[in-house]
Structure 1
């Protein structure tokens, strides 16, 4: 009996101790949550952000689309939003400029520390101390802005010329195209069915990396020459930049993965045979081309070679660093930045601009006309100079609009509130608070750029007055940062953008790969080849092209020429205007008015909706022998009065759902 009583008391004591332990743990976390919440309690934002970095981690998992999540938050909560326990984000350009002003009390936060490309040594982009940053910027800026590199513009011209040569020789080769005719100095492809599409995004990456290595060391790495990702630099850089943004945004990850212990076992080393370690190892490196023009080998490290007693002064970025007093270790660290971060943002700016141009044929045509007119007038030389490019108003509008609509870098660029705190428009920011940039919202401000701020429309820059354009430029240039922490490579990037599109457009005619087939059928200047896929077709199915064709007779004539004798076509076209059997859809009905607006828009675009019966005489004019019209009637919503049509529409919705589901499968 005594033993049982003793055991019961002991068990009760254990239960009490366990409960006390759990209560202590829960109390600790509750107190931590309350303390974390109370620090920035007065700022709006999602509640989980007040005590956890999980929301920021989840947003960063969106990858290159993380900016859209932060833009959504500032749109919902305002221009100053809490996004973490000690973190806020702002879309207020006034605060962004003030944080980076010369006499600002703000400092760089730990966000920048994690941007070190050389994890063992600080560089201008990662150093936190203001005086150290100022000292480095004083030494490095003359090289970046071209003051110490008199041949900078010529170097950029050489890189662009190499890109043009690659496209001309490999992607517009006579062996791949049946005929090439010269018209106004531009290569006109007469048979695009034989054309090998070029992955322009890949070539833009190659160009940007080669251009930065040429600027840094006086010679390119050779990605364009080999048309391949030498050493896997692009692949490694893209992956590393994505990973680094996790470290920059999340302090805990930064503390773990930048610790000495982790770097000792997992960090890149100069002996690595690829990736960042390869960059560090030769940081730069010299590619010595063998007589065969194919084989190449890595040579002496440029930095070591340049610091040798008998080294010659070179007119490149590394030479500028040395002349300005940078020591060998710092030079090795600094020279990595323009090649990795600089090439990535430059390539994105080029890719997005070209993407927007090709997606907006009328805009592309306007730019092409401005460039070709300037060439014919003799106001543009070859290659075009930066000064000449600045005098092309639509080119400048295209460049600024592209930078505005899709900034090449949308990282958080977090600054830290000074020791005395700060008050911004009545809101107190405690000392040590990290304040991030919402660059996307800054450049998509509808109050400044208009309700269509999310649309790529360069014409807005020509329509606005000079005062407005000046303000737009100031706002758009925030994509490069501001003040003391502005991107050092801004000048080089703008010169590249001013030159590259003029050179490409004066040499080539670009089309999206998906537009080649459409153009062949819709243009008198294109002929259908009798080889391979075209000219001997037994049947062509054409569906939903009613508002895509500008000249139906030409289109149908080319279709006819593409068919073998006895071949046929099937056009599946619908009316834009909804009709009803019982007459309930009248001109006052919303669906009728919607059709009016749609037809008006299509006419303005030069692609009007076609009235299907009007195609009959056009088909006969194109020499089609038998032409039949088979009318089909299909409900446009699942609430049709007729049970048969209601069932049909429900079935259609099910099929559409299945199609979209299959589209997302691994197959």
Structure 2
């Protein structure tokens, strides 16, 4: 018996390391086979080798952003994920009759854990219903106060610059732009401004917290494992923004929910604004709150990017700046616009150079440049002779699309508004269609596009009409990094009043 026990003990001692080694070997084989299977899925498309085996390649680039080697489009950046800079492919995926659908990327844009917004839902029927109910609020068709509300906030930003920064004081146009767009957003969406411009301060440290928040959002939308972890109950309890927070996104959500609650209370406040429009169309209180969370993130950061970058590029390009100022001055003398009131959006559409400046700013710094991947339909699809198998995800590289030399020429990287004026009619249409494709089309068209364009045209025109602008320190570069949006600071300018 003693010998038997001794023998059993020896076998047990021998088996433990052997079993561990076998398990490790099996795991390694599983991973290698999985990587090989992944590699073969879309092997006809070029891309980094490791991207064809695993999503770890894009995860690494999310953690450590860097410039990448130029590759032929579409480029493979994941086992089933391609990315394109071809506007024709983007338009094909977005076409009304297209069978391409939203991928899991959009699940990460579910900012309210209780339910989807119009941007995050992947249910085609639900998405169509929400768009039908909300479109009249976004395009201004059913809201008479939309343009006057924007005018009031433009008056605020002009007063802020005149009162606080006119005595040769340096202002960070990135920070002022953020304050402005947040107050415009809250006025349009919730009926009153957050108050950033009145305080001239980063309320609740929201701007300060944006960098880390957008970094996390990039990981969430790009990686299903991170998305699953973040949406789990324990992470929602520990790490998600809450209305009880004192800083960051939480107080903004509390502000929005309070505004929504006032419309659904025992004595509901009735207003003919965007929120009132949503309620009139039958959106529930919780759905209105979900849309509010989306508006705070997508509605302000996107417009901020275009506004601050266009102004900074314009001031840094003296010829372009002088041309725009001259056009505005001549338009005022010709009676095209009023000399005392804020310029009307309809009036801005008569100003060729202003439009060229704004489209050139959008082209060089597209606003929300996440992957926005779409999923190939059952049976696959062929676009321009290229077959994409069923389940292929196609992402969009907005920056490469908008700076494609094949479309915009060898100087595509330069800020040159004249390209939109000098080009012949056919080329202008191609320019416009290419840049416009980043806003989507058809059922995927960005609902906030009309508001953003109105805001940009009117605001840039008024900033140039009321002030002479100059670089505060031309030798100093700006601070910039990108996680789904451009996050910039130290875009320092000096504004000198031209009129009272």
Q: TM-score, normalised by structure 2?
A: 0.89
Gaps spanning 5+ residues in structure 2: where?
476-500
Structure-1 separation of matches of 2:107 and 2:59 = 18
**Structure-2 change in CA distance of 1:487 and 1:21 (3 Å):** same
**Structure-2 change in CA distance of 1:164 and 1:252 (3 Å):** same
Partner of 1:458: 417
**Structure-2 change in CA distance of 1:10 and 1:129 (3 Å):** closer
Partner of 1:657: none
Structure-2 separation of matches of 1:376 and 1:410 = 40
Pick aligned residue for 1:352 from 292, 299, 309: 309
The answer to whether the aligner puts 1:467 opposite 2:429 as a matched pair is no
2:190, 2:260 within 8 Å by CA — same for their partners in 1?
no
The answer to whether the aligner puts 1:482 opposite 2:441 as a matched pair is yes
Question: How far off its partner does 1:8 sit?
Answer: 7.5
Partner of 1:59: 61
2:52, 2:78 within 8 Å by CA — same for their partners in 1?
yes
Structure-1 separation of matches of 2:120 and 2:211 = 19
Question: How far off its partner does 1:491 sit?
Answer: 0.3
1:43, 1:81 within 8 Å by CA — same for their partners in 2?
yes
Partner of 2:36: 34
Partner of 2:495: none
Q: Residue deviations 1:281-331, cap 9 Å, x none?
A: 2324xxxxxxxxxxxxxxxx2211101243242121111111111011101
**Structure-2 change in CA distance of 1:28 and 1:383 (3 Å):** same
Displacement over 4 Å in runs of 4+: 2-19
Partner of 1:22: 24
Structure-2 separation of matches of 1:132 and 1:372 = 48
Structure-1 separation of matches of 2:410 and 2:267 = 62
Q: Residue deviations 1:440-461, cap 9 Å, x none?
A: 1111111111111111111111
Pick aligned residue for 1:435 from 391, 394, 397: 394
1:238, 1:344 within 8 Å by CA — same for their partners in 2?
no
Structure-2 separation of matches of 1:216 and 1:114 = 23
1:218, 1:315 within 8 Å by CA — same for their partners in 2?
no
Partner of 1:251: 224
Structure-1 separation of matches of 2:271 and 2:236 = 34
Partner of 1:367: 324
Q: Residue deviations 1:476-531, cap 9 Å, x none?
A: 11222232112111001111111111111111111110259xxxxxxxxxxxxxxx
Gaps spanning 5+ residues in structure 1: where?
178-194, 285-300, 517-667
Structure-2 separation of matches of 1:246 and 1:11 = 44
Partner of 1:383: 342
**Structure-2 change in CA distance of 1:15 and 1:407 (3 Å):** closer
Q: Residue deviations 1:323-364, cap 9 Å, x none?
A: 111011101111222222211111110000011111111111
Partner of 1:152: 146
Structure-2 separation of matches of 1:211 and 1:407 = 20
Equivalence map 1:218-257=2 (5 Å)? 218-257=191-230
Structure-2 separation of matches of 1:336 and 1:14 = 53
The answer to whether the aligner puts 1:136 opposite 2:130 as a matched pair is yes
Structure-2 separation of matches of 1:122 and 1:23 = 42
2:336 is paired with a residue whose SS is coil
Partner of 2:112: 118
Alignment coverage as a number of residue pairs: 472
1:345, 1:408 within 8 Å by CA — same for their partners in 2?
yes
Pick aligned residue for 1:264 from 237, 258, 268: 237
**Structure-2 change in CA distance of 1:17 and 1:464 (3 Å):** same
2:443 is paired with a residue whose SS is helix
Question: How far off its partner does 1:92 sit?
Answer: 1.7
Structure-2 separation of matches of 1:233 and 1:8 = 63
2:306, 2:361 within 8 Å by CA — same for their partners in 1?
yes
1:198 is paired with a residue whose SS is strand
Pick aligned residue for 1:168 from 162, 165, 175: 162
**Structure-2 change in CA distance of 1:8 and 1:119 (3 Å):** closer
The answer to whether the aligner puts 1:278 opposite 2:251 as a matched pair is yes
Partner of 2:380: 421
2:92, 2:383 within 8 Å by CA — same for their partners in 1?
no
1:119, 1:267 within 8 Å by CA — same for their partners in 2?
no
Q: TM-score, normalised by structure 1?
A: 0.67
Partner of 2:456: 497
The answer to whether the aligner puts 1:340 opposite 2:297 as a matched pair is yes
Question: How far off its partner does 1:419 sit?
Answer: 2.6
Structure-1 separation of matches of 2:17 and 2:112 = 53
Pick aligned residue for 1:319 from 231, 254, 276: 276
Instruction: Give the aligned CA root-mean-square deviation in angstroms.
Output: 2.3
Structure-2 separation of matches of 1:29 and 1:54 = 13
Partner of 2:90: 96
Partner of 1:192: none
1:43 is paired with a residue whose SS is coil
The answer to whether the aligner puts 1:200 opposite 2:173 as a matched pair is yes
**Structure-2 change in CA distance of 1:27 and 1:376 (3 Å):** same
More displaced 10-residue stretch of structure 1: 326-335 or 479-488: 479-488
Q: Residue deviations 1:518-570, cap 9 Å, x none?
A: xxxxxxxxxxxxxxxxxxxxxxxxxxxxxxxxxxxxxxxxxxxxxxxxxxxxx
Question: How far off its partner does 1:463 sit?
Answer: 0.8
Question: How far off its partner does 1:162 sit?
Answer: 0.4
Question: How far off its partner does 1:145 sit?
Answer: 0.5
**Structure-2 change in CA distance of 1:465 and 1:17 (3 Å):** same
Question: How far off its partner does 1:252 sit?
Answer: 1.4
Partner of 1:305: 262
**Structure-2 change in CA distance of 1:168 and 1:417 (3 Å):** same
Question: How far off its partner does 1:405 sit?
Answer: 1.5
Q: Which has the higher contact order (CA 8 A, sep 6+)?
A: 2
